[in-house]
Homo-oligomer: A and B are copies of this chain.
């Protein structure tokens, strides 16, 4: 084996090592998805518990126990990440996101104690769960952002958008449940409701464009009962919000969220299979390449060293060069595809950057910054990413601007 061909094989081995690392990240995303789903259910139960004045206590406690188990799985996965910092792509960003998750989780027991003692407003508890879930989604975002394989990146980005859409559906469930329970809705909440519906659609649209067909089918399902209740709750006349509808609304939303979870499970399974297939494929190609190189080398070595076959070295040479150029071409194509797929993450990046700008220049907290952007988007009836782009563009021309 020449040293040139051993580096050609090492190039493949790097690809396999990266794919294996990516497969572990995808497993982690699956575990996080299950935890988010459990937290969403706990948030829903919390709203029911706090709204009912004490009923639902048993279901709530069961859900807390279920959440704790899912949390243990997440912590176990994250601890395994932490054992080898040097081997991680994008490790500094990922670990900082994990730190923010763990920090939010530290507050969970205290919140639960206050919820059980009915010493907290439903809206505040809902906001806490929302922040925790947002921190978990930020970890998924980093995993998607650092994926180096275009096909896996595509599936991860689809999954991220499905998870984001599902979380917005969870927020809508909580908002609607409160509106039905108290029997009226403030103008600001009406506006927020519309925003939550539109943002869900935008996220699920990305999924439909990127995701695998089965998952997209599950998402495109129509929910006429939910549509009717949405209309009633958000736009209906005073008196339309019968508090008995709160439960009906909650159940209707839950059926849809469970359907989204099913699509999420399908997509997670698809992702796992995809990782397995890509790794097997890369290993197969490595084996083929090694075999081809061995064959070429044995042909180039004459049986009798005194009479080398004419041109054998040169044809080996050409064959090896062709393999390397094919590898270059393939890696280039993968990089191009990856760039195109990752463009889907640019909207979220814009929002992150605009948030960071508002935090550092206006002294806002992360949540305040997000709420400001969302309020601007709702007031101007524009998409969040467009508002973020405007904020960033404005900062560039202001004195003492962002950069």
Contact = CB atoms under 8 A, between A and B. Distances in A.
5 contacts: A10-B85, A96-B327, A103-B317, A325-B366, A329-B356
Contact of A11 (B12, B96, B328): B96
A4 interface: yes
A80 B360 CA distance: 43
Given A92-B15, A329-B356, A356-B329, A324 B100 contact: yes
Q: Which of A14, A94, A100, A360 has the most CB of B within 10 A?
A: A14
A100 B353 contact: no
A365 to B, nearest CB: 8
A328 B106 contact: no
B332 A82 contact: no
Nearest to A15: B92
A352 interface: yes
A85 B82 CA distance: 20
Interface of A: 2-8, 10-15, 17-18, 21, 75, 78, 82, 85-89, 91-100, 102-103, 105-107, 317, 320-321, 324-325, 327-329, 331-333, 335-336, 352-353, 356, 359-360, 366, 403
7 closest A-B pairs by CB: A14-B91, A4-B102, A11-B95, A7-B99, A17-B86, A4-B103, A11-B96
A120 to B, nearest CB: 16
- Looking at chain A's contact residues, the main secondary structure is helix
Contacts of A331: 92-93, 96
B353 A17 contact: no
Contacts of A98: 7
B11 A324 contact: no
Contacts of A75: 3
B320 A332 contact: no
A7 B8 CA distance: 36
Nearest to A7: B99
A298 to B, nearest CB: 18
B14 A106 contact: no
Contacts of A94: 11, 14
B99 A8 contact: yes
Nearest to A360: B329
A318 to B, nearest CB: 10
A372 to B, nearest CB: 16
A89 B87 contact: no
A329 B105 CA distance: 21
A95 to B, nearest CB: 4
